[in-house]
Amino acid sequence: MRLKIELWIVVLLLLTIKLQAQSIWNTAHLENVKQSLQNPFYASAYQELKSEADKLLNVQPLSVMMKEKTPGSGNKHDYMSQARYYWPDPSKPDGLPYISRDGVSNPELDKLDRNRLGSTASRITTLSLAWYFSEDEKYAQKATELIRVWFFNKDTYMNPNLEYAQMIPGRNNNKGRCYGVIDTYSFVEMLDAVKLLEQSKSFTSKDAKRLKVWFGKLLHWILNSPQGQEEANQANNHSTAHDAQAIAFALYSGNIKIATEIINAIPARRIFTQIEPDGRQPQELRRTLAFGYSQYNLTHLIDIFLMARKINIHIDNATSADGRNFYKAMDFLVQYVGKDVKEWPYQQISEWDYKQQEFCKDLYRCAVYLNPERQDYLQLYNANRIIDWKDRFNLLYMQPDEVDNAYAFACKQLHFAIECANKAKKEQENQCKKRVTPRSINKDGSLRMIHPHDWCSGFFPGSLWQIYAYTHDDYWRQQAISFTWPIEESKWHKGTHDLGFMINNSFGKAWELTGERSYKDVVLQSAKTLITRYNPKVKCIRSWDHNRDKWQYPVIIDNLMNLEMLFRATQETGDSIYHQIAVNHANTTMKNHFRPDYSSYHVVDYDSKTGAVRARQTAQGFSDDSFWSRGQGWGLYGYTMCYRFTKNSDYLKQAQHIADFFFGLPNLPEDLIPYWDMKAPDIPNTPRDVSAAAIMASALYELSTYVSANDSRRYKKLANKIVDSLNKDYQAQSETAYGFLLLHSTGHYPGGDEIDVPLSYADYYYLEALARKRMLDTNHINSDTLPIVKE
C-alpha cells in the first residue's frame, strides 16, 4: 500500500511538472504575454528580442573546441575556464602562480570556454523565446543547431563535467576548482527556454531525450565529484548557486526525488547558516562587492523558491529559532535601496547602480511571484527601478496594468514628439519668433510651436518631467531640462496670470523631482511676479489685460490653477503674503463665479476700484449661462487643490458640489468625455473636449483621498472610467500627431481655434491622472500631496 502511495505521489509530481512547464519562469504568465505582445508595455521588449534573435540566425555555433588552450586531461571536449579575479603575479618572471585581485575581472577569460558557454546559453534562450512568442520556426531551427553543436555533435560536444572550470594558472596543476561549478548557472534559465522549444518542430523528441541525459550526467558530476561536493560545502553564494543548478538540472532530467531532497534541505543548509538574525550575510559582506554578492545570493534563493513552487514546496518563509530567514536578508538590503554608495557600510567598489537595479528586480519577483503580502517591496520597486522598455525582464516577469501600458505608450509617443519639436524649432519662422515648445496642431496640419510667454509653454516640459518621474530614466530628465530652461524668462512676465501653468508645471515639477535650488528660485520669482497682478479691492489676481474696452478687471475660472504656486511659495519662504492672496482669490471666486447649482461662469468682470461685480460672462463657452466643460474642470481641480493646502472644509465642499453637478448632467456621454460645452445646441454632434476630461480625472483622484469612503469610491470610479476611455478611444496612433498623446480636445470653439485637436495640457493632466491613479491603486501615496482620509 505504501509503495502505491509513493508511486502516485511521483506520478502527481510528474504531472505537476508537465503542467507547469517552466521552473523559474511562469507558464501562465508567458502565455498571457504571448497573447498581449501588442500592448505597449511589452512591444518594445518583444521587438528587441526579435531583433537580437534575427542577428543570431547567421552566427557560427560556439563550442568548447574553440579555446586556445587544452585542459590538463588533454581532451579539448572538457570544459575549461580561468578564475575570474586572478592575474599574473608582477613579481614573477612568468607571472605564475596567478594572484587574486578581488572584484577585477581578467580579460584572459575570453580565450577559454566560460564566455562561450555563457554566450551559447544566452543565444539559445533568446532564440527559443523568439520562437515561442512569434512561432517562426527559423528561430527554433537556429536554437536547435546551437544546442546540437555544444552538447551533441561528435566533433564539438562538451563533456558533462566541470573538472577544469575556474583553474588558476600555476596552481594545482591547472586543475579546476570547486568555484567553477557556478560557470554553468546560465544553463538554469536556458533550460526554461528549452522547455518552450520542445513544442517546436525543429527540436525533436530525440533532441530532448539526449539533452536530458546530458544534464542528468552533469547533475551526477555536480553531486558526486570532489569539486561539486566541495562547492556544496561553501558558506556563501557558491553553495546556493550549486543547489539552484542541481535543482534545475534534476527537474529538467526528471529526477524529482533529488530536486525535492535538495529543496527541503535549503533552509537548514543555506538560509540558517548564511543569514544572520539581523539579515546580514557575513560571507558576502566581506567581499569588495559586498552589496552585489549579497544580492547575488538572494537571487539564487529566489530562483530556488520559484522552482520549489513547481513541485508544491514552499520554503521562502522558513525561519530558524533565532529568527534567521530569507526576508530578513532582503530587508537588510532594502535599507540601502535608492541610497548613495557612500551610505553602504561595506565595500562596493563598482556596479552600485547596476546592482541596485538587479535588486529591484528581486523585489518585484518576491512581491509578485512569492509573497504578495510584501507590497512594500513592490512599492520600493516602483519608486527606484529604472524602466528600460527593451529589457527582457518585462516579458519574463512583469505584469503591467493599464497605467503601465499607458505610460509605455506615452514614452514611445513623446520620443517622437521630441524629434518633431526639435525639428520645428530649427524652422526659420519659429526661430525668429522664439517658439520653443509644442502646443497643438495648426489648421494647416503643421506643428504649433509657442513662445515662452504663451500660457501653455510649461505643459510639454512638465509632461517630460512626469515621464521621468515614472521611468527614473535619466534620458527623460535630460530632455525635460532641455525644454524647461528655454521658458525661464517667463518668471519676469507681469503681463499674464498664467505663471502657474507656465512655471509651476515645468520648473515646479523639476524642483519637486530633483530638489535642485535653481528650479525653486525660478518658481519663487514667478510667485513674486504673479502677485503684482493682485488687487486688494477686488481680492483677486487679474486675468487678462486685453479687451479693456469690454472688461475692466476680468477674472477667469482658469486662474484658480495658478494658486498652487502661491501656496508653495509660502510653504517654502514662510512669507504669508502668497498664501493670503491665494485664499482671498479662492474665496472671491467661490462667491462670484458659481451659480446656485455649482456650475460656473467663465469670466467675472470686476470694478477695479470698488471690487463690485460688473458682469458674469463667457469667452470660450457657448453662452454666458452655459456649462463650458473645461471651466468646470478648472473649478473642480482648483478647489480640491486649495483644500490640500488649507484644509478649509468650504473648499472641499465646493469641489464636491462641482463634481456632483457636472457628473450628474443627464446629457454627459457614457464614456464621460464631455462635449466642449454641455449646453452646446448641437449635442451630440459637437466636438468633445478631452482636455476637460483629463483635468477632471486628475482632480477626482485627489478629491477621492479627502472624503468619506463611499464618496471616495464614487469619485475614483468616475476617474477610472475617464482614464479607461482615454486609454481605449482617445490615444493617438503611435508616431502620429507630432507625438501628442491624446486626440479630440477643444481649445477655443467660439474663436474657431484648436477645435478637435491634440493639446499639450490635455496630455499633461492625462499623465498626472495616471500618476495619481497609480499611487492610489498601489497605496503608494505621498501624505504631503495625496493623503488618504478614512471614513
Q: How many helices (H) and strands (E) does the chain have?
A: 31, 13
The residue from 243, 454, 498, 677 that is catalytic is 498
Q: Distance between CA 494 and CA 201 in Å, rounded?
A: 72
Residues near 45 by beta carbon (within 8 Å), at least 6 away in sequence: 389, 390, 391, 392, 394, 395
Helix (H), strand (E), coil (C) string for 480-491: HHHHHHHHHHHH
Secondary structure letter of residue 59 according to DSSP: P
Secondary structure letter of residue 675 according to DSSP: B
Secondary structure letter of residue 181 according to DSSP: G
Contact between 253 and 212 under an 8 Å Cβ cutoff? The reply is: yes
Residues near 185 by beta carbon (within 8 Å), at least 6 away in sequence: 241, 244, 245
Q: Distance between CA 568 and CA 23 in Å, rounded?
A: 52
Number of residues that this document lists for the chain: 791
Residues near 686 by beta carbon (within 8 Å), at least 6 away in sequence: 675, 676, 677, 680
Residues near 135 by beta carbon (within 8 Å), at least 6 away in sequence: none
Contact between 524 and 569 under an 8 Å Cβ cutoff? The reply is: yes
Q: How far is residue 610 from each of residues 531, 536, 603, 605, 613, measured CA to CA in Å?
A: 19, 10, 18, 12, 9
As beta bridge partners, residue 675 has: 688
Axis-axis angle for helices 114-134, 40-56 (nearest 10)? 120
The owner of cell 512626469 is 466
Contact between 634 and 557 under an 8 Å Cβ cutoff? The reply is: yes
Q: Which residue, 135, 115, 126, is CA-closest to 189? A: 126
Q: Which residue, 545, 636, 533, is CA-closest to 584? A: 533
Q: How many CB atoms lie within 10 A of CB 782?
A: 9
Q: How many CB atoms lie within 10 A of CB 222?
A: 25
Q: Distance between CA 584 and CA 604 in Å, rounded?
A: 15
Q: Classify strands 164-167 and 80-82 as parallel, antiparallel or unpaired.
A: parallel
Helix (H, G, I), strand (E, B), or coil: what is residue 608? coil
Q: How far is residue 247 from each of residues 258, 294, 432, 632, 679, measured CA to CA in Å?
A: 7, 21, 68, 62, 69
Question: DSSP alpha helices (H): ranges in 135-181?
Answer: 137-147
618: cell is: 463667457
Secondary structure letter of residue 512 according to DSSP: H
What does the DSSP assignment read for 762-778?
A: HHHHHHHHHHHHHHHHT
Helix (H, G, I), strand (E, B), or coil: what is residue 348? strand
The residue from 558, 605, 689, 763 that is catalytic is 558
Q: How many CB atoms lie within 10 A of CB 137?
A: 13
93: cell is: 618572471
Q: Is 401 a catalytic residue?
A: no
Q: Distance between CA 648 and CA 639 in Å, rounded?
A: 10
Helix (H, G, I), strand (E, B), or coil: what is residue 113? coil
Q: Which residue, 272, 212, 217, is CA-closest to 239? A: 272
Q: Distance between CA 349 and CA 355 in Å, rounded?
A: 12
Helix or strand holding residue 449 (H, E): strand 447-450
Look up residue 55 and give its amino acid.
K
Q: Is 558 a catalytic residue?
A: yes
Q: Distance between CA 714 and CA 720 in Å, rounded?
A: 10
The owner of cell 528561430 is 139
Active site residues: 498, 558
